[in-house]
């Protein structure tokens, strides 16, 4: 990258910078006119200079051709001007002033907007270039950088550049021009005084930058320490398990404290020096007038200098310090930005970058790979030039099934990296179909070859997006009109040197997955899920997922049919007592009081079960229905039981967490309340205590907690309150809750809750299993299982796949790799967290699917190699044996040793 | 819906079981509160012979058959009814279930998990002493029976 920010800015924004410069120059005459005009208004318009005689007029807006006398020998008047009396003149001058104010304002607006735009464009370009470089970092280099440091560089450290770029050229020219003019004027008035002023300015411009050298060094340190702090914070988050598991939080605190201390000292020193320089700067600026007053004054007294000239010099000097000061400030900013820029780009210049031509979006994956994979003297060295893979030679067919076995650290992993084109060999060659792998474009290595590692990453987003990730290489079909990035948007991207790739276009290469389009790709996804045994998991995700009935009316309608079918089937098998269905007119003893009152799914947090006790609308309904006292009574009964049975348990006992309505911290308070109720009745309680008790019954589930609080009468009153609350909600909060209706799909509830339309009865042996099985049967009968799985495909996997377990993550990574039907599949211990039989099943099934297509698999369990055509045995980075399973087991071999060692 | 038995009634039943007889009602209430009440339909199994035991059951209502695997299929060796405890040996000794238990009629039980049971013992040692006393008493009875049998031979 260009090491000098000025050259970088000039190269990418020359035209814009020149336009800004021209605009600045064009604005100057208007600016000076507007400065001069007030004097004219006061003198002529108000005080009446030139209007001494009544009825006298003055010429306004007379335009003479400039330099006409020199050119033609006589003045040329273009416009004779208007002859105006005093009030007319005043108004004319005032309106001229107003017009100049507008013109100046418009100039400022246009110039600043243009400066802003050129700055933002260049910032966009720079950020893209930096991020683009990360995409081109070779993997071994990427492993050495800290992600949070990289992020903070692209995000924060280059940010100030945006503000500076617009001023990069215009400001110094403008200010420099101003200063030079003032200086020239002083020189004309008095050469010697001019020389003094120039001397001070020169001294200033010599001294100040020298004083600032140390500030620059500190600035560099400040940037580095702040970046390292960001890196450390990233590390603390990545290593959170180790930090907490080793009780190392205080060690980390100490580390943070020492870093912050360093940053403090650096920043404080910068401040001290900055203000000292400022002080010196001001002092020097005032030194010149001192010389003028003292020296010039003496000269004037002694008659060597004309007093008029001295006054003119002093007047001219007032225009000098401010542009000089601003220039010095600009220079400071320039150095600052230059340092930031250098510091950032320095981190983005690794010894090697992937050639952009290899990643070009229009590269052709070419015909299917065929022929042989040949490694000759294939060698890979690490940073320290230590060999990881040493001079390996082998030849296998592209379509062969190859197992790589060996102890860990034998170089197997590195070999697979090279085979997948992820790491370039240090020496020797690796050829596929006669072509060197490190010269193949990524369109070939990333599409014709699939790679799955043990710790495959998943991107935050849906399962579907993660499965399809392997099919998105370039935009294939333009997005629908409404979504497509507009012509303007893409043109702007090009102006900032960004590629015009539209993220909203359809990128999915359906054909590569063996599908024809968006409609049948889902079938392929499900096939892959079946193959890797992930279908059951996705089905369960689907059951807990929600569907927008407007988008999928078929699913919503199917769910309603399933609701009826489930209850019919349960009735048939005599299990209809396992689900207690919701009914608008009856109390559900298997649901909490809160759920019974709301009788619907909350759409806003204020109506969530946990928040209902504090909801003012609910409190109002309870009060109007005379239930407040009843709730306090129930609360008192619950509190009494809790106080009684948890009394002897030590605080922090797990039972509190598991069973209690009351946390161990609050228990003493409730004990006091219960005692008070016992001695003086609930009426004697204060407002806070009543509110505490009022909140308790909301979570109470009669069938589970069995305190006998909800008798038939109370149940009827609660149902009454439910209707009342519903009316109130429909009036005041129509969007807050989606009510349970037996004939309608509830968009806010999960598929499973929609089908069950009730609660599992507590305490029925095996209820969950029976209901789960029956539900599955019903969905199969109605042909809805696939729809549920489709909903499951929308499940958000979380950051880094955090909402999946490790087995699911590995299976998902395999499914993604299989989906793109590559010519070669490289699997690097990607089933390691599965149990033995799971591994066996998966390997067999994948090899079966890929009959005739290449598979290269590093095996953790060497005996599985029996399923492969060829086995490569690695040890200490060397290929020690190769051959078929029979060959290698037929004689005394290292392979036999590996199998035996297991 | 049938009116459910409240927790206080469950405590009453627990108190009629010898190993719980002398334990404070508040603690029994905690145990009842922390336990699930599980209902079985006639023919449904509580557990099978040979399984690892993870819970004891107290019969609140109904009867259950105790079956032992014989050469000609399961053999009914006993019937259990209200106020009786089932399967406490398996959780105390951590041995596999010695018999299969199946609901004969509709059966309501209080399922006390091994985890809960041991936690209660740990938190309330006096409960452990009570249980030790009952078990020692049982052992003494068994020994006496054995002595009688030996004397009869």
CB contact A581 to B (< 8 Å): no
Q: How far apart are CA A612 and CA A400, in angstroms?
A: 63
Backbone angles phi, psi at A858, to 5 degrees: -85, 120
At residue A484, the pLDDT reads 67
How large is the average pLDDT for residues A832-847? 90
Q: How far apart are CA B117 and CA B88, in angstroms?
A: 10
| CA dihedral of residues A415, A421, A423, A426 (deg, nearest 10) | 80
CA atoms within 13 A on the CB side of A713: 2
Q: How far apart are CA A808 and CA A830, in angstroms?
A: 11
A766 and B44 within 8 Å at the Cβ level: the answer is yes
From A752's Cα to the closest Cα of chain B, the distance in A is: 23
How large is the average pLDDT for residues A327-342? 86
CB contact A707 to B (< 8 Å): yes
Residues of chain B with pLDDT under 50: 1-3
B124 and A648 within 8 Å at the Cβ level: the answer is yes
Average pLDDT of chain A, as a whole number: 88
Q: How far apart are CA A479 and CA A776, in angstroms?
A: 37
From B41's Cα to the closest Cα of chain A, the distance in A is: 8
Of the candidates A865, A869, A868, A867, which has an alpha carbon nearest to the alpha carbon of residue A893?
A: A865
CB contact B34 to A (< 8 Å): yes
Of B1, B6, B41, the CB nearest to A589: B1
Q: Is A679 exposed, middle or buried (0-12, 13-18, 19+ CB in 10 A)?
A: exposed
Which residues of chain B have a CB within 8 Å of the CB of A576? none
Backbone angles phi, psi at A766, to 5 degrees: 70, 15
B6 and A641 within 8 Å at the Cβ level: the answer is no
pTM of the model: 0.78
Alpha helix stretches (DSSP H) within A348-397: 356-359
Q: Which of A45-54, A263-272, A276-285, A866-875 is the least confident region? A: A45-54
At residue A392, the pLDDT reads 94
B39 and A649 within 8 Å at the Cβ level: the answer is no
Q: Does residue A403 sit in helix, strand or coil?
A: strand
Using the predicted structure, report yes or no on whether residue A278 has a pLDDT greater than 90.
no
Chain B: residue nearest A647 by CA?
B26
Of A645, A646, A706, the CB nearest to B4: A706
CB contact B124 to A (< 8 Å): yes
How large is the average pLDDT for residues A529-540? 94
Which residues of chain A have a CB within 8 Å of the CB of B8? 708
From A146's Cα to the closest Cα of chain B, the distance in A is: 46
Q: Which of A132-141, A248-257, A514-523, B15-24 is the least confident region? A: B15-24
Which residues of chain B have a CB within 8 Å of the CB of A705? 7, 33
B38 and A765 within 8 Å at the Cβ level: the answer is yes
* CA distances (Å), origin A303, targets A147, A299, A306, A315, A645: 73, 6, 7, 20, 109
* CA distances (Å), origin A857, targets A38, A401, A662, B74: 86, 8, 55, 51
Rounded to two decimals, the ipTM of the complex is: 0.81
Could you tell me the pLDDT band of residue A781, with boundaries at 50, 70 and 90? very high
CB contact A254 to B (< 8 Å): no
Chain A: residue nearest B10 by CA?
A706
Of A650, A707, A765, the CB nearest to B7: A707
CB contact A762 to B (< 8 Å): yes
A766 and B8 within 8 Å at the Cβ level: the answer is no
Q: Which of A96-110, A189-203, A698-712 is the least confident region? A: A189-203
Structural contact between residues A793 and A802, judged by C-beta atoms closer than 8 angstroms: no
Chain A: residue nearest B42 by CA?
A765
B44 and A765 within 8 Å at the Cβ level: the answer is yes
At residue A523, the pLDDT reads 92
Per residue, the 3-state secondary structure of A98-128, as one string, reads HHHHHHHHHHHHHHHHHHHHHHHHHHHHHHH
The two beta strands, A824-828 and A449-452, are: parallel
How large is the average pLDDT for residues A606-633? 90
Q: How far apart are CA A484 and CA A862, in angstroms?
A: 51
CB contact B7 to A (< 8 Å): yes
From A658's Cα to the closest Cα of chain B, the distance in A is: 8
Name the β-bridge partners of B61. Answer: B108
How large is the average pLDDT for residues A814-823? 95
Q: Which of A21-25, A325-329, A447-451 is the least confident region? A: A325-329
At residue B2, the pLDDT reads 42
Q: How far apart are CA A86 and CA A92, in angstroms?
A: 10
CB contact A659 to B (< 8 Å): yes
Q: How far apart are CA A525 and CA A40, in angstroms?
A: 81
Of B8, B30, B36, the CB nearest to A646: B30
CB contact B39 to A (< 8 Å): yes
How does pLDDT run across A482-505, given as a tens digit for each residue?
766 677 888 889 999 999 888 888
From A765's Cα to the closest Cα of chain B, the distance in A is: 5
Q: How far apart are CA A346 and CA A223, in angstroms?
A: 13
How does pLDDT run across A212-266, given as a tens digit for each residue?
888 888 988 998 999 999 999 999 998 999 999 999 999 999 999 999 999 999 9
Backbone angles phi, psi at A364, to 5 degrees: -100, 130
Q: How far apart are CA A196 and CA A576, in angstroms?
A: 104
CB neighbour list of residue A318: distance below 8 Å, 6 or more residues apart: none
Decide which of A593 and A33 is more confident: A593
Best B33, B108, B113 member to test A by mutation, with max A CBs in 10 Å, is B33
Q: How far apart are CA A475 and CA A508, in angstroms?
A: 8
Residue written as token pair 């799985």:
A789
Q: How far apart are CA B69 and CA B50, in angstroms?
A: 10
Q: How far apart are CA B130 and CA A712, in angstroms?
A: 40
At residue A123, the pLDDT reads 93
CA dihedral (A298, A302, A307, A312) positive or negative = negative
How large is the average pLDDT for residues A200-208? 85
Of B6, B39, B119, the CB nearest to A765: B39
B7 and A655 within 8 Å at the Cβ level: the answer is no
Chain A: residue nearest B1 by CA?
A589
Chain B: residue nearest A654 by CA?
B119
How large is the average pLDDT for residues A132-148? 91
Of A644, A654, A655, the CB nearest to B29: A644
CB contact A651 to B (< 8 Å): no
Q: Does residue B94 sit in helix, strand or coil?
A: coil
CB contact B122 to A (< 8 Å): no
B33 and A645 within 8 Å at the Cβ level: the answer is yes
Say how far residue A826 (Cα) sits from the centre of its chain: 31
From A581's Cα to the closest Cα of chain B, the distance in A is: 12
Best A642, A658, A706, A711 member to test B by mutation, with max B CBs in 10 Å, is A706
Helix axes A535-543, A785-793, angle to 10 degrees: 90
How does pLDDT run across A661-674, given as a tens digit for each residue?
788 888 888 899 99
Look at chain B and count its residues. 153
Q: How far apart are CA A698 and CA A503, in angstroms?
A: 48
């Amino acid at each position: 990258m260009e090491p000098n920010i000025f050259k970088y800015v000039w190269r990418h924004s020359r035209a814009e910078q020149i336009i800004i410069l021209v605009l600045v120059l064009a604005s100057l005459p208007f600016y000076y006119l507007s400065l001069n005009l007030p004097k004219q208004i006061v003198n002529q318009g108000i005080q009446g200079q030139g209007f001494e005689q009544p009825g006298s007029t003055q010429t306004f807006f007379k335009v003479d051709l400039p330099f006409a006398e020199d050119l033609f020998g006589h003045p040329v008047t273009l416009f004779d001007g208007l002859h105006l009396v005093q009030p007319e003149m005043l108004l004319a001058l005032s309106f001229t002033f107003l017009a100049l104010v507008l013109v100046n304002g418009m100039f400022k607006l246009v110039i600043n907007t243009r400066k802003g735009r050129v700055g933002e464009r260049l910032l966009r370009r720079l950020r893209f270039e930096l991020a683009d470089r990360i995409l081109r970092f070779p993997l071994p280099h990427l492993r050495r950088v800290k992600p949070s440091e990289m992020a903070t560089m692209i995000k924060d450290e280059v940010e100030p550049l945006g503000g500076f770029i617009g001023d990069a050229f215009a400001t110094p020219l403008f200010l420099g021009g101003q200063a030079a003019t003032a200086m020239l004027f002083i020189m004309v008035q008095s050469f010697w005084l001019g020389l003094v002023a120039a001397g001070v300015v020169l001294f200033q411009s010599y001294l100040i930058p020298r004083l600032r050298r140390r500030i620059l060094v500190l600035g560099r340190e400040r940037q580095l320490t702040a970046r390292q702090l960001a890196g450390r914070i990233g590390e603390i988050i990545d290593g959170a398990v180790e930090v907490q598991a080793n009780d190392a939080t205080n060690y980390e605190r100490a580390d943070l404290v020492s870093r912050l201390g360093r940053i403090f000292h650096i920043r404080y020193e910068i401040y001290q020096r900055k203000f000292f320089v400022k002080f010196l700067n001001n002092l020097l600026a005032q030194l010149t007038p001192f010389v003028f007053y003292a020296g010039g004054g003496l000269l004037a007294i002694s008659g060597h200098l004309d007093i008029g000239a001295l006054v003119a010099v002093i007047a001219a000097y007032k225009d000098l310090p401010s542009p000089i000061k601003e220039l010095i400030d600009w220079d400071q900013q320039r150095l600052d930005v230059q340092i930031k820029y250098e510091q950032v780009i320095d981190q983005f210049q690794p010894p090697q970058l992937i050639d952009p031509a290899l990643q070009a979006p229009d590269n052709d994956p070419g015909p299917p790979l065929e022929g042989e994979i040949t490694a000759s003297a294939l060698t890979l060295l690490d940073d320290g030039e230590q060999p990881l893979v040493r001079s390996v030679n082998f030849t296998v067919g592209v379509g062969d099934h190859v197992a790589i076995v060996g102890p860990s650290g034998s170089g197997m992993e590195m070999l697979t990296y090279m085979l997948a084109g992820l790491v370039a060999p240090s020496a020797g060659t690796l050829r596929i179909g006669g072509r060197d792998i490190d010269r193949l474009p990524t369109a070939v290595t990333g599409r014709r070859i699939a790679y799955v590692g043990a710790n495959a990453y998943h991107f935050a987003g849906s399962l579907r997006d993660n499965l399809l990730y392997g099919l998105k290489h370039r935009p294939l079909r333009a997005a629908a009109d409404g979504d497509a990035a507009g012509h303007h948007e893409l043109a702007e991207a090009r102006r900032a040197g960004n590629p015009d790739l539209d993220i909203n276009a359809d990128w999915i290469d359906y054909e590569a997955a063996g599908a024809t389009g968006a409609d049948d790709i889902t079938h392929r996804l499900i096939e892959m899920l079946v193959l890797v045994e992930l279908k059951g998991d996705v089905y369960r995700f689907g059951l807990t997922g929600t569907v927008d009935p407007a988008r999928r009316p078929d699913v919503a309608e199917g769910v309603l049919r399933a609701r009826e079918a489930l209850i019919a089937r349960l009735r048939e098998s005599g299990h209809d007592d396992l689900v207690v269905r919701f009914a608008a007119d009856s109390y559900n003893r298997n649901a909490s009081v809160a759920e019974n009152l709301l009788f619907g799914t909350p759409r806003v947090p204020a109506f969530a079960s946990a928040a209902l006790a504090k909801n003012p609308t609910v409190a109002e309904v309870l009060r109007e229905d005379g239930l407040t006292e009843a709730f306090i009574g129930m609360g008192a009964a619950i509190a009494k039981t809790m106080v009684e049975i948890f009394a002897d348990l030590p605080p922090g006992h797990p039972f509190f967490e598991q069973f209690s309505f009351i946390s161990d911290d609050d228990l003493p308070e409730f004990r006091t309340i219960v005692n008070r109720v016992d001695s003086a009745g609930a009426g004697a309680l204060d407002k806070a205590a009543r509110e505490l008790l009022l909140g308790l019954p909301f979570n109470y589930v009669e069938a589970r907690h069995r305190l006998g609080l909800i008798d038939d009468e109370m149940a009827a009153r609660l149902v009454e309150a439910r209707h009342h609350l519903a009316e109130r909600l429909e009036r005041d909060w129509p969007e807050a809750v989606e009510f349970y209706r037996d004939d309608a799909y509830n968009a806010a509830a999960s598929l499973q809750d929609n089908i069950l339309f009730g609660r599992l009865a507590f305490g029925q042996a095996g209820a969950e299993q029976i209901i789960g099985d029956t539900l599955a049967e019903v969905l199969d009968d109605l042909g809805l299982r696939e729809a549920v799985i489709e909903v499951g495909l929308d499940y958000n996997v979380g950051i880094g796949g955090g909402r999946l377990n490790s087995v699911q993550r590995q299976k998902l990574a395999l499914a993604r790799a299989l989906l793109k039907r590559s010519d070669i599949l490289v699997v690097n211990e990607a089933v390691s967290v599965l149990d033995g039989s799971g591994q066996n099943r998966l390997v067999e099934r994948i090899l079966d699917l890929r009959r005739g297509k290449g598979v290269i698999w590093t095996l953790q369990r060497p005996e599985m190699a029996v399923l492969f055509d060829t086995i490569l045995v690695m040890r200490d980075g060397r290929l020690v044996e190769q051959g078929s399973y029979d060959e290698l087991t037929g004689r005394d071999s290292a392979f036999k040793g590996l199998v035996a060692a297991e | 819906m049938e009116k459910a038995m409240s927790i206080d009634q469950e405590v009453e039943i627990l108190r009629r079981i010898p190993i719980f007889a002398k334990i404070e009602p508040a603690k029994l209430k905690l145990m009842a509160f922390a336990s699930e009440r599980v209902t079985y339909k006639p023919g449904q199994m509580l557990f099978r012979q040979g399984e690892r035991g993870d819970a004891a059951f107290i019969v609140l209502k109904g009867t259950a058959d105790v079956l032992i695997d014989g050469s000609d299929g399961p053999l009914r060796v006993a019937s259990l009814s209200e106020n009786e405890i089932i399967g406490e040996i398996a959780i105390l000794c951590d041995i596999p279930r010695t018999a299969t238990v199946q609901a004969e009629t509709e059966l309501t039980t209080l399922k006390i998990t091994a985890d809960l049971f041991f936690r209660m013992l740990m938190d309330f040692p006096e409960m452990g002493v009570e249980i030790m006393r009952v078990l020692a008493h049982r052992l003494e009875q068994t020994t006496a029976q054995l002595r009688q049998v030996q004397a009869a031979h």
